[in-house]
């Protein structure tokens, strides 16, 4: 094995180059540490944080202000609100406003008198639901005392026809009532009631007849017609079962005829409470009546002629038509139906109270023609007649004319209407203040050329003074001489809304 010679250390020659000096290391770092220094670490951390914020943060989607569905809902709600306001809100607000108006600042001559008793008890002899037999001495009610009963139609379920007739006193009190109601029996019960003068001159009593037709024997056996009759008292009460089926029905035909006697029949009170009956009255000079009350829901009322001191007609959903002669008070009321009335009012100058007239309906036309008579010997110191007329959503037309034999009278007339035109006519004998007003429409006052001299102070000229004359409101006075007088003068107030108002003086 060869032996290599031992080499000694060979010293390399020096290299000429610039000297490189490394910076001194930080006191806290180890040499050649793989971690960045503090400043670099902070810079990297802030950079990563900012990048993450930019990457992860997404602003929420901005809501569209003009969303189509939102607009549609808002417009629909607005249209519904406007409709309800026009249909419901305006009539209610105007009605409440009229209710709260106790005095009118432009009517200094308003007369505050003590009203007579005008509740229903003043018209009805007893309860307004006078269906039970009155507690009268000597009265024994008799029910279903039929003169004849017939069965016809299907033998398995025949129709029943029954008839009865009573001869009763033509004087005293009369009451005819039924316990039927619109809510329970509107489709089950119908009837006709007629009262007038008997064409047979030989009959000296009043004749009350009842014809009843029922759809089945079961209904017939559960229905009662009860008479309570004594001297000067006649009562008929009709009792219907409260469990009638939709296929059950009952028909009535009731007639009450008064005699043609030399001495008129004297009736203290005449009362009907007959819902769903067609009521027809035809009295003349053969009957003298103190109190009359005609009532019944959904009952059309027709009056050929009737004369009484106090008279009430109270129905609903059906019209009232007729001729009325009254000397104390007259009240006619319905709803959702028209009223057409020709009325004669008489006021006794010796009476403590005026003769009152109240006629009102709603959603129906109101037509009232009034003839007034008060044989005043001197200018009156109180009103002779006080009248209140009211309707809404229908026309109001009325005239107040003096009877040819009547001197001037003091008339207070208030006529209210909403959403319908109003036309009021007064003759040339009216004297007093007037006020017509409306909203969003025209108010007009006209004077005719009829010439009438003052019957109390001949020679005084008749003049009309207008204090306020605006498009929707007019106020003034009409009469002889001037309005400064100690005598009671009249007043007429006509008020409406959203419709024209016209007040016409014939002279």
**Least confidently predicted of 200-209, 316-325, 454-463:** 454-463
Asked if residue 4 has pLDDT above 50, the reply is no
Establish if 353 belongs to a structural domain. Answer: yes
User: What number is the average pLDDT over the span 387-407?
Assistant: 96
Task: Of 42-56, 123-137, 288-302, give the range with the top mean pLDDT.
Answer: 288-302
Provide the number of structural domains found in the chain. Answer: 1
Measuring CA to CA, how many Å separate 400 from each of 130, 219, 258, 428, 506? 36, 51, 33, 10, 11
pLDDT digits (tens, 9 = 90+) for 65-107: 556 777 788 888 888 888 777 767 666 655 555 554 443 333 3
pLDDT at 93: 58
Establish if 425 belongs to a structural domain. Answer: yes
DSSP code of 147?
Answer: S
Please identify which residue in the block is written with the tokens 């008997």. Answer: 198
User: What number is the average pLDDT over the span 53-68?
Assistant: 56
pLDDT digits (tens, 9 = 90+) for 218-268: 999 999 999 999 989 999 999 999 889 989 999 999 999 999 988 899 999
With bands split at pLDDT 50, 70 and 90, how would you rate the model's confidence at 362?
A: very high
Establish if 345 belongs to a structural domain. Answer: yes
Please identify which residue in the block is written with the tokens 């006078």. Answer: 130
Q: What percent of the chain has pLDDT over 90?
A: 57
Higher pLDDT, 477 or 185: 477
Asked if residue 117 has pLDDT above 50, the reply is no
Establish if 375 belongs to a structural domain. Answer: yes
pLDDT at 434: 96
Q: What percent of the chain has pLDDT over 70?
A: 76
Establish if 280 belongs to a structural domain. Answer: no
Range of the domain at 488: 90-115+319-507
Establish if 283 belongs to a structural domain. Answer: no
User: What number is the average pLDDT over the span 429-442?
Assistant: 94
Higher pLDDT, 270 or 468: 270
pLDDT at 311: 97
DSSP code of 431?
Answer: -
Across-strand partners of 370? 343, 400
* Separation between Cα atoms, residue 162 and residue 148, nearest integer Å: 6
pLDDT at 137: 61
User: What number is the average pLDDT over the span 304-330?
Assistant: 97
With bands split at pLDDT 50, 70 and 90, how would you rate the model's confidence at 186?
A: confident
User: What number is the average pLDDT over the span 11-27?
Assistant: 53
Please identify which residue in the block is written with the tokens 């008292």. Answer: 233
User: What number is the average pLDDT over the span 432-461?
Assistant: 86
Establish if 351 belongs to a structural domain. Answer: yes
Establish if 452 belongs to a structural domain. Answer: yes
């Amino acid at each position: 094995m060869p032996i290599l010679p031992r080499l000694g250390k060979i010293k390399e020659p020096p290299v000429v180059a610039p000297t490189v000096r490394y910076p001194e290391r930080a006191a806290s770092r180890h040499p050649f540490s793989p971690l960045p220094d503090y400043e670099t670490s902070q810079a990297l951390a802030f950079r990563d944080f900012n990048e993450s914020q930019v990457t992860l943060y997404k602003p929420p989607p901005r809501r569209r202000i003009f969303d189509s569905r939102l607009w549609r809902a808002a417009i629909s709600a607005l249209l519904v609100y406007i409709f309800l306001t026009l249909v419901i809100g305006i009539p209610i607000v105007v009605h409440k406003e009229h209710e709260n108006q106790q005095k009118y600042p432009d009517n200094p001559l308003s007369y505050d008198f003590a009203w007579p008793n005008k509740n229903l008890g003043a018209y009805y002899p007893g309860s307004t639901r006078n269906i039970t037999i009155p507690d009268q001495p000597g009265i024994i009610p008799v029910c279903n005392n039929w003169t004849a009963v017939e069965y016809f139609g299907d033998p398995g379920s025949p129709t029943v026809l029954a008839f009865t007739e009573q001869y009763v006193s033509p004087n005293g009190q009369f009451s005819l009532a039924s316990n039927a109601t619109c809510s329970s029996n509107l489709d089950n019960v119908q009837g006709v009631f007629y009262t007038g003068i008997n064409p047979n001159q030989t009959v000296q009593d009043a004749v009350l007849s009842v014809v009843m037709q029922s759809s089945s024997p079961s209904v017939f056996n559960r229905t009662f017609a009860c008479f309570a009759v004594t001297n000067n008292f006649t009562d008929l009460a009709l009792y219907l079962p409260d469990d009638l089926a939709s296929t059950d029905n009952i028909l009535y035909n009731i007639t009450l005829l008064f005699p043609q006697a030399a001495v008129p029949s004297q009736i203290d009170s005449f009362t009907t409470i007959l819902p769903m009956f067609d009521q027809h009255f035809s009295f003349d000079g053969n009957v003298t009546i103190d109190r009359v009350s005609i009532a019944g829901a959904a009952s059309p009322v027709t009056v050929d002629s009737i004369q009484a001191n106090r008279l009430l007609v109270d129905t609903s959903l059906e019209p009232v038509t007729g001729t009325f002669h009254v000397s104390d008070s007259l009240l006619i009321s319905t709803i959702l139906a028209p009223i057409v009335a020709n009325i004669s009012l008489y006021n006794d100058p010796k009476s403590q109270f005026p003769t009152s007239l109240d006629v009102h309906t709603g959603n129906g036309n109101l037509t009232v023609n009034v003839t007034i008579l008060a044989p005043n010997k001197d200018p009156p110191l109180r009103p002779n007649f006080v009248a209140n007329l009211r309707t809404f959503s229908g026309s109001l037309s009325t005239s107040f004319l003096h009877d040819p034999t009547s001197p001037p009278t003091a008339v207070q007339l208030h006529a209210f209407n909403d959403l319908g035109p109003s036309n009021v006519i007064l003759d040339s004998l009216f004297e007093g203040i007037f006020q017509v007003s409306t909203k969003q429409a025209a108010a007009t006052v006209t004077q005719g050329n009829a010439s009438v001299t003052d019957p109390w102070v001949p020679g005084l000229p008749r003049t009309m003074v207008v204090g306020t004359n605006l498009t929707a409101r007019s106020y003034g006075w009409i009469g002889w001489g001037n309005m400064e007088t100690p005598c009671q003068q009249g007043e007429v107030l006509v008020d409406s809304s959203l419709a024209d108002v016209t007040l016409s003086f014939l002279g």
